[in-house]
Amino acid sequence: MGLGTGNRGGSLTIESGDAEPSELQTFEISDSAIEAQESLAVDHQASLTSPAMIEAVIQSVQPVESVDPSVAETIAGVIGQSVAAGGGSSMGFAEMSLSGRTKENRTRLAKENGGSEESELAVEIALAYLAEHQLNDGSWSMMYGMSCNGECEPSCSGKDPYRYAATGLALLCFLGAGKTPDDEQYGTLVSKGIYFLQQSLRTKSDSAYWVGTEASAQMYEHGIATLALCEAYQMTQAKELKDSCQLAINFIVLSQYKDGGWDYHPGTPGDLSIAGWQVMALKSAVAAKLVVPQQTIRAVDQFLDKTRSGEFMFKYRSAKPSKSMTAIGVLLQIFRSKSKDARAIEKGIEYLAKQEPSRSDMYYDYYATQAMFQYGGPLWKNWNYKMRDYLVRTQTPNGHMRGSWWFDDDHSNKIGGRFYGTCMACLILEVYYRYLPVYGADADEFRF
Ligand SMILES: [Zn+2]
């Protein structure tokens, strides 16, 4: 029954979906993508301050190698239809509907679920800000020297411009507000972003990835970009995106460590923070009817158990339990179709409610707000008043940086800079319609 994942140079055996043990089919991916990607060296760390440098980096992005269109289908066929069908109880993932994002639904749900006219306006001007900072090739960068000659500050302080994570986050903001390639205002911009991600995927064997181990935050970037691409596919049903999404998902499957988690790079034990993005990407893939081995999802459960601390909290690596990890843990449990009455979820929600929204840690706020929203009820309402109005109040109101956010005094903000803070705040304010409540709560639970 075992599944060896993330072993460098090893092979991966994927069990077939819901089959009885005696009927399990296995599929060998022998040419490890993890090993192969280490041999690729693309310079993403150059100083990106001049137009010539930007051009050089754009040209250094390798075109996607010819994808064998049969790859995804082959894996699909071998792994089994119960998995390929996606959604539903067989996968143990809660239904993930993006139907709240359509124009009509968005307006209605924003109103019913706790948004305000001010919060919706904040989303609109955040999108306008992001639109202003898209690069010519369709990507975004956390390094402002590339997009506005450093007029915005602070730029990211990490050593990479994190272009794939930046593009993924920006696209998630547009897609979360229902802006697809059909959108009158932002359609072209969204298409260019999607195209950039798709074209910069590097395909090797049965999987594809954006950045190799030379990048400092490889799996963060990969998880975020994959989530964005899968949401784009789920919303557009554009056939030409299907293989790219499947190959990127396969890379997540291949990169999972044997304990069920993910690290900055494949092959070593990771943490719940990095796992959060991978699981969200897998969940989106299931909803888009892509192939995700059940084994991978079961291993996620094991990882949740491993990182649980006490009855309801979660911890980062070997550290003490923290509110950020608990927020991610609670949300992942909810999305794994755990009952709303499960004691660990109830207690986790009560704990988060007591902590209240952070004024600087947008990473915590992003997950905690989603968990509180999914849970609904009075605790959510109280949380929402504070979170929503704090973000509306702190958005930069005018000038070149109008529509953006900067939160000092937080590790992630310092690394990702103003761009990161802006995307996270925008996504938080889209919570009312971005993912519908998985418990199917009726509107009374949310109505204000
Ligand atoms: Zn700027």
350 token code pair: 């009560």
pLDDT reported for residue 34: 35
pLDDT reported for residue 448: 40
Cα(146) to ligand 1 centroid in Å equals 9
User: Does the structure show a pLDDT above 90 at 412?
Assistant: no
pLDDT reported for residue 387: 98
User: Does the structure show a pLDDT above 90 at 420?
Assistant: yes
pLDDT reported for residue 94: 72
Amino acid at 101: R
Is the domain spanning 12-69+83-445 CATH 1.50.10.20? The answer is: yes
Cα(123) to ligand 1 centroid in Å equals 17
Cα(76) to ligand 1 centroid in Å equals 44
Chain-centre distance for alpha carbon 58:
24
Cα(134) to ligand 1 centroid in Å equals 10
Cα(358) to ligand 1 centroid in Å equals 25
Name the residue with higher pLDDT: 80 or 201.
201
Cα(126) to ligand 1 centroid in Å equals 12
Cα(406) to ligand 1 centroid in Å equals 12
Cα(105) to ligand 1 centroid in Å equals 32
pLDDT reported for residue 411: 82
Mean pLDDT for the chain overall: 80
C-beta separation of 362 from 407 below 8 A: yes
Cα(416) to ligand 1 centroid in Å equals 14
Cα(175) to ligand 1 centroid in Å equals 22
Looking at the chain, the whole-number percentage of residues with pLDDT higher than 70 is 77
Cα(12) to ligand 1 centroid in Å equals 44
Cα(391) to ligand 1 centroid in Å equals 20
pLDDT tier at 413 (50, 70, 90 boundaries)? Answer: confident
User: Does the structure show a pLDDT above 90 at 69?
Assistant: no
User: Does the structure show a pLDDT above 50 at 38?
Assistant: no
pLDDT reported for residue 24: 30
Cα(132) to ligand 1 centroid in Å equals 8
User: Does the structure show a pLDDT above 50 at 376?
Assistant: yes
User: Does the structure show a pLDDT above 90 at 204?
Assistant: no
Cα(422) to ligand 1 centroid in Å equals 12
Cα(144) to ligand 1 centroid in Å equals 6
Q: How does pLDDT run across 235-260, given as a tens digit for each residue? A: 999 999 999 999 999 999 999 999 99
This model's pTM is above 0.85: no
- Please compute the mean of the pLDDT values over residues 384-407 and round it to a whole number: 97
Cα(156) to ligand 1 centroid in Å equals 13
Cα(127) to ligand 1 centroid in Å equals 13
pLDDT tier at 146 (50, 70, 90 boundaries)? Answer: confident
Tell the burial category of 163 from Cβ atoms under 10 Å away from its Cβ (0-12, 13-18, 19+): buried
Cα(154) to ligand 1 centroid in Å equals 10
Crossing angle of helices 117-132 and 411-429, in 10° steps, is 120
pLDDT reported for residue 20: 32
Cα(150) to ligand 1 centroid in Å equals 6
Tell the burial category of 340 from Cβ atoms under 10 Å away from its Cβ (0-12, 13-18, 19+): middle
User: Does the structure show a pLDDT above 60 at 80?
Assistant: no
Domain coordinates of the chain in residue numbers?
Answer: 12-69+83-445
User: Does the structure show a pLDDT above 80 at 5?
Assistant: no
- Please compute the mean of the pLDDT values over residues 362-391 and round it to a whole number: 96
The enclosing H or E element of 286 equals: helix 272-287
Cα(404) to ligand 1 centroid in Å equals 9
Cα(131) to ligand 1 centroid in Å equals 11
Cα(147) to ligand 1 centroid in Å equals 7
Name the residue with higher pLDDT: 93 or 156.
156
Cα(442) to ligand 1 centroid in Å equals 41
Cα(162) to ligand 1 centroid in Å equals 16
pLDDT tier at 441 (50, 70, 90 boundaries)? Answer: low
Cα(48) to ligand 1 centroid in Å equals 15
Q: How does pLDDT run across 157-196, given as a tens digit for each residue? A: 887 899 999 999 999 999 999 999 999 999 999 999 999 9
Cα(116) to ligand 1 centroid in Å equals 27
Cα(405) to ligand 1 centroid in Å equals 12
pLDDT reported for residue 49: 32
Q: How does pLDDT run across 94-103, given as a tens digit for each residue? A: 767 888 999 9
Q: How does pLDDT run across 306-364, given as a tens digit for each residue? A: 999 888 899 988 788 999 999 999 999 998 877 777 889 999 999 999 999 999 999 99
Helix (H, G, I), strand (E, B) or coil at 368: helix
pLDDT tier at 114 (50, 70, 90 boundaries)? Answer: very high
Name the residue with higher pLDDT: 332 or 57.
332
245 token code pair: 């999404």
Q: What is the rounded distance in angstroms from the CA atom of residue 389 to the CA atom of residue 401?
A: 19
Cα(403) to ligand 1 centroid in Å equals 11
Of 425, 427, 405, nearest to 153 (Cα)?
405
| Residues in contact with 138: Cβ distance below 8 Å, sequence separation at least 6, in sequence order | 167, 189, 191, 192, 193, 194, 195, 196
* 353-388 b/e (C-beta count within 10 Å ≥ 16 → b): beeebbebbbbbbbbbbbbbbbbbeeebeebbeebb
